[in-house]
Every structure is written in C-alpha cells, then in structure tokens.
Amino acid sequence: MTMTGTATSFTAPEAVPATPSRPYDPRYDPLLAPDPGAGRAYAPTWWVASAGTPPEDDGPLVQDIDVDVAIVGSGATGMSTALYLAQEHGIRATVLEANQAAWGCSSRSGGQGQNASGRLKRSQWIARWGFDTAKKLDAEIRAGFENFKALTQQIDCDAFDGGHLYLAHRREKLPVLAAEAALMRDTFGYATRMMSAEEVRSDYCDERETVGAMFEAEGVGIHPLKFTFGLLRRARALGVKVHTSSPVQGWQTIDGVHHLRTPGGTVRARRVAVCTGGYTGQALSPLLKNRVMPILSNSVVTRELTEAELKATNFRSKTFLTDTRTLRFYYRLLEGNRLQIGSRSSVSGADAEAPVHLKLLTDAIARKFPPLANIRIDHSWWGWVDMSHDMMPRITQPDASKKIWYAVGYGGNGVSFSTWAGKRLAERIAGRDAGREVFELPIYDSPLPFPNVMGLVESQAFAPFRRMGQRMLYKWYWLKDEK
Ligand SMILES: Cc1cc2nc3c(=O)[nH]c(=O)nc-3n(C[C@H](O)[C@H](O)[C@H](O)COP(=O)(O)OP(=O)(O)OC[C@H]3O[C@@H](n4cnc5c(N)ncnc54)[C@H](O)[C@@H]3O)c2cc1C
C-alpha cells in the first residue's frame, strides 16, 4: 500500500460478496498480512454465538464515493467515534470494515470493563508523570468509565456492575496489592479495599489459588458484541454508513484528499480516523507502522455449570476476576452460568492453534476451580490485543499537517475506555480540541512511540526484533510468576 502526494493508478478491485463467504483464518497475523482479510467470517466466539442476529449494515462498498469523514474499523472505538461525531457534532461519517461488524477484538474480548486504560496502574502513572498529571489522568479515565457505565445501562449487553476482584496468586503479591489499594483510597478517593482469601471464597467464588485480593467497586462486565452492535445501531440511526467486507487496501493522499481503496470502490475523504486496534496492518499507514505491537490473547467459554458445580465452586457473584500474574488470567461467570477464562497465547499467528495454548487455560480452570477440571469447552478463540510500546494508548492527530487521527494502543484495557476514546477522537476530528487542557494529557499529546530498549532508546530499528524479545520476556515472566 502507498500513501503519497501524487496520483498513481489503482489496481482493479476484486468484488467482495455481501455475506461472509470467506472462512475465518485462525492463523491471521497482523505483523505479516497487509490487512485482516476481506469479508471473512467471525472468530468462533461465545459472543458471536449468543449476540443474536447482527444488526443491518450498509454492505460492501460498490462504487467510488466522496465523504467528509471516513473511519477505518468498526469495533467499539470506530463505532463510538462515528456515534459521537453524529450525535455531538452533526458529522455523519462512513465506516469501512474489512470483515464483519465488530469483527476484531470487540467480538472477542473478556468483556471486562475496568476503570483503566492501557496497562499501567495508577502508582505507575505517578512514577512516570508525577502526581498532578496522574490526578488529571485519573479524572479523565474515570469520566470515561462513568460514561461507559451509563451506556451499558442504555444498551442491552448483559451488563453486570459488580466491580473487579484482583486476586493475588501468591503471597509476595499481597503487599503490592495492599499498596495499590491504599493509593487508590488515599490519593484518588476510591473505596478500594483488601479482602482475605476466606472472604473471596465465601462471598464471591471458591478460587483455590488466591491468597487474598484487592476489590475495586468500579468494574462492569458486559457482552462486548451486544454492546458494540448497540453502538452501531445508534450510529446508523443517526445517518452513519457502515460498509462491511470493505478493507482499506490502498491509501493515497492527493491534494489533501485521502483516497482509501477498497475492493469495491474508493472512498475519497477529507478526514480519516483510524480505529483498527491490534488489527492494524503494517502497510495501512506510515503513521502507524511499527507503533502497535499486536499480542495474541486467547479465551475459552465452558458449557453451562450444573447446580452441583455452582455449589462446589461456590460462585455467588458474576464480578469479574483477574490475577496478579504478569501474563494475567482474566475470568468470570457469565450470564447463563458458563465460565469464561482467558490469558496470553502464542507469539505468532502461525502457532495460534497449537494445543499448548488451550491447555494453558484448561490447566488454569483445573487449578483455580478443581471441581471444574475437565469440564467441556464449548468455545475457544483468540484475538490480537493492541499493545503500545509504552503501555498507554494514544488518541491523537500524529501529524498536524495531515487530517488523520487515530485511537489505538489500549493494551487489553479497551472495553470501557474505547467509547470515551471515540468521544475524544470525535472532538478532535470536529476541531473542538484546540486550547483545551485535557488534550495536554500524555494519552492525547503525542504519537504512539516506536519500540524501545528498557525504556531508554526508542527506535524503529528495533521493530524486527520485537517477537524475539517477546519470546524471551514470556519465559522470564513465567519464571517470575510460577517459580
Ligand atoms: C482475547 C481478548 C480479550 C480482551 N479482553 C479485554 C477485557 O476483558 N477488557 C478490556 O478492557 N479489553 C479487552 N480486550 C481489548 C478490547 O477488546 C479492545 O480494546 C476493545 O474492544 C476496543 O477495540 P477497537 O475497536 O479499538 O478494535 P477492534 O475491535 O479490534 O476493531 C478494529 C477493526 O478494524 C478492522 N480493520 C483493521 N484493518 C482494517 C482495514 N485495513 N480496513 C478496514 N477495516 C480494518 C478490523 O477488521 C477490526 O474489526 C481484549 C482483547 C482480546 C483480543
């Protein structure tokens, strides 16, 4: 793909049928493939199986069109950007989606809506940016969480507003959790508190690994696909167009107009928002090349638990759980009493189907909930998380001379913050960000960084070695977490 200031002829488009006739590709790898496919079926997730009939969309693009704003990607970020552009700024955007509506992470996640964005904890915000910035960032992320929570009450998405239990999986982790809980309480004013292992077992579930936990009241578990479909329905009701099976396979900028080539036609747009998350192809735009590290996360959902199993595991709540492993497990009892659990997966797409990655999850079920050892797994899938190289997202216009914006890099914490990112992105695209202090926060004021070595030297030159580093880190994390 190219992005130049001069016109070159496009190759002849290959028509993509409206219904997904192309199978899901379990080995898809964003670092290798130019785009996530064209008209591919959804991953075999529990969310796809239980979301009901997908809402209508506008089908594949079949001709060249001129638009004001084009959005690439129809996940929660793309759809909330479209929704807020229409709702708050009167701008009806055109969304281009390579496959099906919400085909990427937004139909694959754990659905855990946390009061967070990116991978850093509040203590790490203070260490990195100081107390004042951390306070302002907290107010911003909190506003995003409250906005998300309100939306989950308006959209039918099986929302469970039960907070988050962060479980210490070994004793050395308890003081770390206790310090974070104290900081949350004393500095940021939350009612976060520590809980004993006995309290977790008697009031939430009999999770056998835990030695104690931090409980934060802010946390809403959702059905992420129902939620994103809800955003899409609302956006379309306001005049937004959503073209599925329409991957952007070429991008030229000619006299300031962006020509986004899809198989069925070219979109000529004055402004473009890129909302492609972990599915951002390396060739999509030079502005994003080597700035997103896609990391595979996998997830399973079991058959329904029987009454006897619910009793044996003492599940009393659908509050979602994570543990203190560096490569954390995330899990919860879903509506309909199925257990979901997920964690990290393979490094490359080519290895994603290897049984060892599924075994990591089934072993975890057996360890954490022995009465469920060997329970039937009904759904198993994986997806690419958009990790940024400094662990925090960016919602930004990376080059002031180009009318291109992006919101990417949530690092596995995008379920709640992506809708607020979409709201802020819409403000920026509409030109309502100038001079506002909030946009000076570190998630808004710079582009996504390139890879770095120990946070010291940042360079594009490290990009080809990222996966080698990731493999080494996974081994180190395993030793740290388990030995
Ligand atoms: C297995 C898994 C578990 C997760 N669990 C959690 C969790 O519990 N809590 C949490 O907060 N976060 C979680 N996340 C992350 C969370 O799902 C996302 O941050 C959130 O859904 C926002 O996604 P998005 O809209 O930015 O990107 P996505 O939903 O990935 O959407 C991007 C879209 O862009 C499209 N696209 C890409 N390239 C092109 C192109 N060239 N042309 C057209 N379209 C294109 C893709 O097809 C895709 O549909 C998880 C992610 C995964 C993979």
Confidence band (pLDDT; 50, 70, 90) for 227?
A: very high
Same domain, 384 and 306: yes
> Is the pLDDT confidence value at 411 over 60?
yes
Same domain, 361 and 466: no
Same domain, 305 and 194: yes
Q: What are phi and psi of 308, to 5 degrees?
A: -65, -40
Classify residue 4 as exposed, middle or buried by CB count within 10 Å of its CB (0-12, 13-18, 19+).
exposed
pLDDT, tens digit, 9 for 90 and up, residues 272-293: 999 999 999 999 999 999 999 9
Ligand 1 contact via 77 beta carbon (within 6 Å): yes
Cα separation of 449 and 363, whole Å?
36
Residue 353's pLDDT is what? 97
> Is the pLDDT confidence value at 29 over 50?
yes
- Specify the ligand 1 atom closest to the Cα of 99: 47
> Is the pLDDT confidence value at 11 over 90?
no
Same domain, 357 and 469: no
Same domain, 382 and 463: no
Pair of tokens at residue 363 = 């072993």
Confidence band (pLDDT; 50, 70, 90) for 24?
A: very high
Residue 19's pLDDT is what? 61
Confidence band (pLDDT; 50, 70, 90) for 455?
A: confident
- Average pLDDT rounded to a whole number, residues 121-137: 97
Ligand 1 contact via 272 beta carbon (within 6 Å): no
Distance 315 CA to ligand 1 centre (A): 29
Same domain, 377 and 461: no
- Specify the ligand 1 atom closest to the Cα of 262: 42
> Is the pLDDT confidence value at 12 over 50?
no
Distance 383 CA to ligand 1 centre (A): 8
Residue 482's pLDDT is what? 87
Distance 108 CA to ligand 1 centre (A): 8
414 assigned to some structural domain: no
Same domain, 331 and 478: no
| Rounded CA Rg of the chain | 22
Mutate to test the pocket of ligand 1, among 40, 109, 344 (most ligand atoms within 8 A of CB): 109
Domain of 338? 160-220+294-388
- Average pLDDT rounded to a whole number, residues 9-20: 47
Distance 347 CA to ligand 1 centre (A): 17
Mutate to test the pocket of ligand 1, among 61, 415, 423, 425 (most ligand atoms within 8 A of CB): 415
Q: Which of these three, 357, 388, 419, is where a domain ends?
A: 388
pLDDT, tens digit, 9 for 90 and up, residues 199-226: 999 999 999 999 999 999 999 999 999 9
- CA angle at residue 107 from 57 to 71, to 5 degrees? 50
404 assigned to some structural domain: no
Cα separation of 258 and 271, whole Å?
7
209 assigned to some structural domain: yes
Least confident of 5-9, 22-26, 229-233: 5-9
Residue 457's pLDDT is what? 87
Residue 18's pLDDT is what? 53
- Average pLDDT rounded to a whole number, residues 329-355: 97
Same domain, 379 and 462: no
Residue 16's pLDDT is what? 52
Ligand 1 contact via 277 beta carbon (within 6 Å): yes
Residue 121's pLDDT is what? 96
Question: Comparing 91 with 21, which gets the higher pLDDT?
Answer: 91
- Specify the ligand 1 atom closest to the Cα of 73: 34
Same domain, 462 and 322: no
- Average pLDDT rounded to a whole number, residues 338-359: 97
Residue 20's pLDDT is what? 62
Same domain, 215 and 302: yes
Q: What is the mean pLDDT of the chain?
A: 94
Distance 103 CA to ligand 1 centre (A): 8
Q: What percent of the chain is predicted at pLDDT more than 90?
A: 92
Cα separation of 354 and 327, whole Å?
18
30 assigned to some structural domain: no
* Partner residues linked to 402 by β-bridges: none
Q: Which of these three, 353, 388, 423, is where a domain ends?
A: 388
306 assigned to some structural domain: yes
> How many domains does the chain contain in total?
2
- Specify the ligand 1 atom closest to the Cα of 110: 8
189 assigned to some structural domain: yes
Q: Rounded to an integer, what is the distance from CA 319 to the centroid of its chain?
A: 20
Distance 466 CA to ligand 1 centre (A): 21
Q: How far apart are the first and last CA of the chain?
A: 46
- Average pLDDT rounded to a whole number, residues 20-26: 86
Same domain, 213 and 315: yes
> Is the pLDDT confidence value at 2 over 70?
no
Ligand 1 contact via 322 beta carbon (within 6 Å): no
Residue 284's pLDDT is what? 97
Of all protein residues, the one whose alpha carbon is nearest to atom 51 of ligand 1 is: 109
Pair of tokens at residue 34 = 């130019």
Q: Which of these three, 388, 403, 429, is where a domain ends?
A: 388
166 assigned to some structural domain: yes
Q: What is the CATH number of the domain that holds 333?
A: 3.30.9.10
> Is the pLDDT confidence value at 7 over 70?
no
Same domain, 346 and 474: no
233 assigned to some structural domain: no
- Average pLDDT rounded to a whole number, residues 172-189: 98
Distance 414 CA to ligand 1 centre (A): 8
Residue 456's pLDDT is what? 79
Ligand 1 contact via 107 beta carbon (within 6 Å): no
